[in-house]
A and B are shown apart, each in its own frame.
Chain A
Amino acid sequence: MLAIETYSEIYTGDRKNADTPQWLEKLKLDWLLETDNEHEKFDNRPLLEELDIDPSEIWYKIRCILLPVFISKWGYQKHVLRDNPDFWGPLMSVTIFSAISVWGQSHVVGWIYTFWFSGSALIFGLGRVLGGDITYSQSLSIIGYSLLPLSTVCLTMMITGSCSGGFNFLGYVLWIFGIVWSSYSAASLLVADEFLDKKPLITYPIILLYIYFMHFFTGV
């Protein structure tokens, strides 16, 4: 009896169709005309809400990443990036960097995403074994967001033509500046107070990771 009761409990309520003929109900076949209206409630929600995307929060985080030094003076809470990691913002950031780097080397996209995931895993692992209390999602989010400064620098290099082959002083300066900017943004967020004395040990792999990303831009 349990099965029948469970069945009748499930197929009641909103699912009942008002136009169901009486004879079908008598035959206990009214479930044939029942409709599932549950999904309509979800369909009415906006896509951003459904995907848990908050553009204002993403914009806030982007400002924190792009201006890591001055933002604290203006009252911004940088630690939001660490305390409330998200996926879509970093994904957008990595996609922008891929789009900038993709010219003439379509296979670079896969490498960029691979290094984003595996590099974040490496940073997360190192952070954990060095005594930090970071999670993989935090690492993934911060490393992803911190690609925005690198994207900005790469775009500047493209506009100024300093990413072409041969010795180019401006290119080298921008190359180093981009890596320092991104690494500082990421390291200042990933290195928590509990292992501040080991900051160089976690910062150096982060620098290496952004050097790899810069190499992807100049040719994989």
Chain B
Amino acid sequence: METEATGEPAVTIEMSETDTESFEDLGPRVAFANGGITQAEVTTIPSVEEIPEGTLINSTLDPPTVNISSASLTVPATSGVVRRSIDVDNRASEATIAAAQMVHQIVSTGKEKAATWVKAYANLDNLRPHFDVEPRTVVNRLIQSFVPITDLSSPEKVPTELYGPLVTSLTLVAVLQMNMKTSNTSLEEATLIETALTTCFGYWAFLTGVIIGLSYLCSTYINKIQACSIAGYGMVSHVVVSFLAELFHTDRTPFFMFWFTICGASSARMATVIASRTVGVSQRILASSIIIFIHMTFLLYLHFSYHHILDEIVEVVEHIEEALDIE
């Protein structure tokens, strides 16, 4: 491309958005050509070096006209004047662009934050169907978690509610912590609350995963939320047995009795619900036996790991009994 005035080759300056050099450092031509003005709209100016000597000094030609989008600027023949006027306008346009960019950034950041909050509130509303229950319904489900079903011919209805399971897990955390304190459990590299939280919520997640895995292997008709709900309600037996074991903690016998009856009933409930939604006898047996085994073993683990019998109390009671016998 050649300028109309001189016929000399024009200076074409191309800068990408990633260039970080200041336009002023590169000279006014660069600043002028890239100062937020579309390059296509800029009439290029011949470089001073490229203009023949005679032409520059004794120029009788019309000065080149520069069009800057809305503003029109007439560049005089003297190069010094061109440089100064371009500098001023270039700074002004740079400031305008910077201000616009800043406003845009502030607005976009605000929008993003608002969107995040709206999204969080919307997510809470998405959870509402799983938590919005009546107190009576929760109590009924808690009681039913100990009652095995007898009719396996039709699939048992499984709720997709999560309030009960969540609160059950939180209760188990509190009871387990109480057990740990009663038995003077000391952990070297963890706190009691940390261990209780990890154990209870970890087991809930693990049992849910097992049920989902079994449903995949045994073709059980159950979704993830239902699996989560079954596992959570199953933990009610652990809460009850752990609490009762706390009250009768001087002997193992009451614990085993509670374990066999209460935890057994709860495991049977879970197993029968899963079995009722599974097609095929061998698949039913496999799924049920695995769930019963895991569920009952975990209560044994909880008891023997975190609920030690107070040997001192036992010894004191034995001494008292011996003393009474002697007398």
Contacts and interface: CB of A to CB of B under 8 A. Distances in A.
B192 A220 contact: yes
Interface in B97-140: 99, 121, 124-125, 127-128, 130-135, 138
A208 B170 contact: yes
Contact of B96 (A2, A200, A212, A220): A2
B128 A129 contact: yes
B124 A128 contact: yes
Given A111-B191, A198-B134, A208-B174, A1 B124 contact: no
A131 B132 contact: yes
Nearest to B191: A220
Given A129-B131, A208-B170, A3 B193 contact: no
Interface string A5-23: 0100000000000000000
Interface in A105-119: 107, 111
Interface string A195-216: 0011011001100100110011
A4 interface: yes
B320 interface: no
B8 interface: no
A2 B124 contact: no
Contacts of B121: 128
Given A129-B127, A208-B174, A215-B174, A2 B92 contact: yes
B46 to A, nearest CB: 27
A126 interface: yes
B191 A107 contact: yes
A198 B137 CA distance: 11
A126 B127 CA distance: 10
Interface string A97-140: 00000000001000100000000000001101111000000000
Given A3-B94, A215-B174, A201 B191 contact: no
Contact of B138 (A2, A3, A197, A201): A201
A215 B133 contact: no
Contacts of A55: none
A96 B92 CA distance: 57
Contacts of B163: 126, 201
Contacts, number: 72
A220 B187 CA distance: 11
Contacts of B173: 212
A219 B88 contact: no
A205 B192 contact: no
Given A3-B94, A130-B132, A200-B135, A125 B192 contact: no
A147 to B, nearest CB: 16
A126 to B, nearest CB: 7
A216 B197 CA distance: 14
Contacts of B128: 129, 131
B91 A3 contact: yes
A218 interface: yes
Contacts of B184: 165
Contact of B192 (A3, A165, A219): A219
B53 to A, nearest CB: 35
Contact of B135 (A1, A6, A111, A201): A201
Contacts of A220: 191-193
A1 B92 contact: yes
Contact of A4 (B92, B127, B132, B191): B92
Contacts of A3: 91-92, 94-96
A210 to B, nearest CB: 10
B177 A197 contact: no
Nearest to B312: A166
B311 to A, nearest CB: 14
Contact of B124 (A129, A165, A219): A129
B181 A215 contact: yes
11 contacts: A126-B131, A128-B121, A129-B125, A129-B127, A131-B132, A197-B134, A197-B135, A205-B170, A208-B174, A212-B177, A220-B191
Which 7 A-B pairs rank lowest in CB-CB distance, beginning with the nearest? A3-B95, A129-B131, A200-B135, A129-B128, A211-B174, A220-B191, A1-B92
Given A130-B131, A208-B171, A212-B177, 17 more contacts: A1-B92, A2-B95, A3-B91, A107-B191, A125-B127, A128-B124, A129-B127, A129-B130, A129-B131, A129-B132, A131-B128, A201-B163, A204-B167, A212-B173, A212-B193, A215-B181, A216-B193
